[in-house]
Amino acid sequence: MQDEKYQYKVNEIYGKEMTMSNKLLEIKDLYVDAEEKEILKGINMQINKGEVHVIMGPNGSGKTTTANAILNNPIYMKRNGSILFDGEDITNLKTDEIARKGIFMSFQSPEEIPGVSVTNFLKYAKNKITGEPIKIFEFKSELKKYMEELNMNPKNMERSLNVGFSGGEKKKNEILQMLVLNPKLAILDETDSGLDVDAIKTVSKGIEMFKNKDNAILIITHNTKILNSLKVDYVHVLINGKIVKTGKQELAKEIEENGYSKFK
């Protein structure tokens, strides 16, 4: 009884959010196969609201598999374990349902969709995610604002999604989508790879704009460049399908200097 009374007061003073758990994503003992090969061998991870996490690891360690497994890409097979998001089991939900719960992934190689303009695509997607009609004028000015911040050519708005975009334009476009769709959890899969220094700065700027105390970011990368301009809460080292070490930002520095050999 005591607790309930206390709870009531907290609700009254701070609003409901304060009493809810801060926990956003929880991965429990996750085993995943790709093409009948075991890739993830028991992953455990917890991401709270307001946090920035990084998964680092050499090629083939299972980084992209982790991202795809969270979004339940049907080509990956979950053999064991569960994924909870906002307290709800999303392990076997369809990808679009997971997206509508508030998880976004920036793709390593974004797909080209001919004949569908960036504007129309985002309008459509935002409507699906929010379930609300889109106010065109508001939407366009929001889009324009973000594109300016990301140094994107406004002409790209009317171009077919990712068609003929350079590598850098595609990655910026992913960040643009993240800003417009405004998820609770953004997974950035190798968003920094193949980008020059300026583009990495722009991408980091986008991430800073997105970040707030109610959402979280999971960055997947095999190099540390992007971490120089971004404050990170946790770094996880993924080797051969297992998280072998979790630490603070310094862990990334250590890897930058010494590589992964000491974790193998």
Partner 1 sequence: MSKTQINEINRNIYDIKNKDEYEFKIKKGLTKEIIEEISKQKDDPEWMKEFRLNALEVYNKLELPTWGPDISELDMNEIATYVRPKTKLNNSWEDVPEDIKQTFDKLGIPEAEKKSLAGVGAQYDSEVVYHSMKEDLIKQGVIYTDMETAVREYPELVKQYFMKCVPVYDHKFVALHGAVWSGGSFVYVPKGVKVEVPLQSYFRLNSPESGQFEHTLIIVEEGASLHFIEGCSAPKYNKVNLHAGCVELYVKDNAYLRYSTIENWSKNMLNLNTKKAIVGKNAKMDWVTGSFGSKISMLYPMSILNGEGAKTEYTGISFAGKGQNLDNGFKVIHNNKNTSSVVNAKSISKNGGKCTYRSLVRINETATNSKSSVSCESLMLDDISISDTIPVNDIRTDEVEFSHEAKIGKISDKAIFYLMSRGLSEEDAKAMIVRGFAYPISKELPVEYAVEMNNLINLELEGVIG
- The nearer residue to partner 1, 99 or 235, going by C-beta atoms, is 99
Closest approach of partner 1 to the CB of residue 163, in Å: 9
Binders of partner 1 in range 154-173 (CB under 8 A):
160
Q: What is the rounded distance in angstroms from the CA atom of residue 39 to the CA atom of residue 81?
A: 14
Using rule CB under 8 A, residue 262 touches partner 1: no
Shortest distance (Å) from residue 128 CB to partner 1: 4
Instruction: Tell me how far apart the alpha carbons of residues 237 and 58 are, in angstroms, rounded to a whole number.
Output: 9
| 83 close to 30: Cβ distance less than 8 angstroms | yes
Residues near 151 by beta carbon (within 8 Å), at least 6 away in sequence: 172, 202
> Which residue's CB is nearer to partner 1, number 96 or number 208?
96
**DSSP label at 91?**
T
Binding mask 92-131 for partner 1 (x = CB under 8 A): --xxx-xxx---xx-x--xxxxxxx----x--xx--xx--
- Identify which of residues 78 and 245 has a Cβ nearer to partner 1 in the complex: 78
In angstroms, the CA 87 to CA 236 distance is 22
Q: Which is nearer to partner 1, 120 or 246 (CB)?
A: 120
Q: Where are the beta strands (DSSP E) in 63-163?
A: 76-85, 88-89, 103-106, 113-117, 160-161
Footprint on residues 65-94 left by partner 1 (CB under 8 A) = 71, 73-75, 94
Name the residue among 214, 264, 183 with its Cα closest to residue 16. Answer: 214
Q: From the CB of 211, what's the least distance to partner 1, in Å?
A: 20
Which residue ranges make up the site for partner 1 (CB under 8 A)? Answer: 71, 73-75, 94-96, 98-100, 104-105, 107, 110-116, 121, 124-125, 128-129, 160, 177, 181
